[in-house]
């Protein structure tokens, strides 16, 4: 079988070094519409299904791993999906430096790296600091949809979310099941399908900005 040659699609990929200041999403996508950001896009399974199902929504995927980023850019480009953009960068830094306040309708965080060792917990994306920044970026009633297979990380998510609930910043709402989820799935990503075969449970949490 021939090796698939991955292509770059300038209409899809965003070069981090070219960004200065706050991003104008209408310029970035060449259109207006709701904006949703996926943190950790992996191989793009969620983005492809969701972008096809909601073609009026603008989806921005953030991925750090170069091989996954290149694969997803190629996958999106081959399908001609004009409502998706990808950037390879650190998600926390990008959101802090480039995402406008009140500019995002929703965030997606599916099966993020759990950094299971205790001394690595500080590297987990979902933290009080990053939640505070995401809440600034969200529009009124905007939401954060999350799923993980790691019980320890889920407990941290619950703890951080609980503090925000007590502060009146968010409320917990039902999980928003993505369009690509098949029977027995909650999200429909490659990681989830792998974990289902292994018999590992998944945990979900969705927060809505107050």
What are the DSSP E strand ranges found in the chain?
13-14, 35-39, 58-62, 84-87, 104-110, 138-148, 170-173, 203-209
Is 90 marked active-site?
A: no
5 located within any domain:
no
CA distance 94 to 88: 10
**Residue 121's domain is classified under what CATH number?**
3.40.50.150
20 located within any domain:
no
27 located within any domain:
no
| Residue carrying the six token digits 């039902």 | 174
In order along its 210 residues, the chain shows pLDDT tens digits of: 567 789 999 999 998 888 889 999 999 999 999 999 999 999 999 999 999 999 999 999 999 999 999 999 999 999 999 999 999 999 999 999 999 999 999 999 999 999 789 888 999 999 999 999 999 999 999 999 999 999 999 999 999 999 999 999 999 999 999 999 999 999 988 888 988 888 888 999 999 999
Query: In total, how many domains does the chain have?
Result: 1
CA distance 205 to 146: 5
The answer to pTM > 0.75 is yes
CA distance 195 to 199: 6
173 located within any domain:
yes
Task: Give 190-201 as a DSSP string.
Answer: HHHHHHHHTT--
CA distance 80 to 203: 33
12 located within any domain:
no
Distances in whole angstroms, Cα of residue 27 to Cα of each of 22, 58, 156, 165: 11, 12, 36, 34
17 located within any domain:
no
Tokens of 63: 């991925």
The residue from 8, 16, 55, 113 that is catalytic is 113
23 located within any domain:
no
21 located within any domain:
no
Domain that holds residue 66: 33-209
């Amino acid at each position: 079988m021939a090796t698939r040659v991955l292509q770059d699609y300038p209409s899809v990929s965003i070069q981090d070094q070219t960004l200065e200041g706050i991003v104008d999403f209408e310029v970035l996508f060449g259109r207006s519409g709701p904006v949703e950001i996926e943190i950790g896009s992996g191989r793009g399974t969620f983005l492809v299904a969701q972008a096809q199902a909601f073609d009026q929504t603008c989806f921005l995927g953030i991925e750090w791993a170069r091989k996954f980023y290149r694969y997803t850019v190629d996958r999106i480009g081959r399908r001609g999906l004009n409502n998706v953009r990808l950037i390879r960068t650190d998600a926390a830094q990008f959101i802090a430096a480039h995402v406008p306040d009140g500019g995002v309708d929703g965030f997606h965080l599916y099966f993020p790296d759990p950094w299971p060792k205790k001394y690595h917990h500080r590297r987990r994306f979902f933290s009080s600091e990053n939640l505070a920044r995401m809440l600034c970026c969200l529009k009124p009633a905007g939401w954060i949809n999350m799923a993980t297979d790691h019980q320890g990380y889920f407990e941290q998510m619950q703890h951080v979310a609980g503090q925000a609930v007590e502060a009146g910043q968010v409320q917990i709402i039902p999980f928003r099941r993505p369009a690509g989820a098949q029977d027995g799935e909650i999200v429909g990503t490659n990681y989830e399908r792998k974990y289902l075969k292994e018999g590992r449970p998944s945990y979900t949490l969705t927060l809505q900005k107050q």
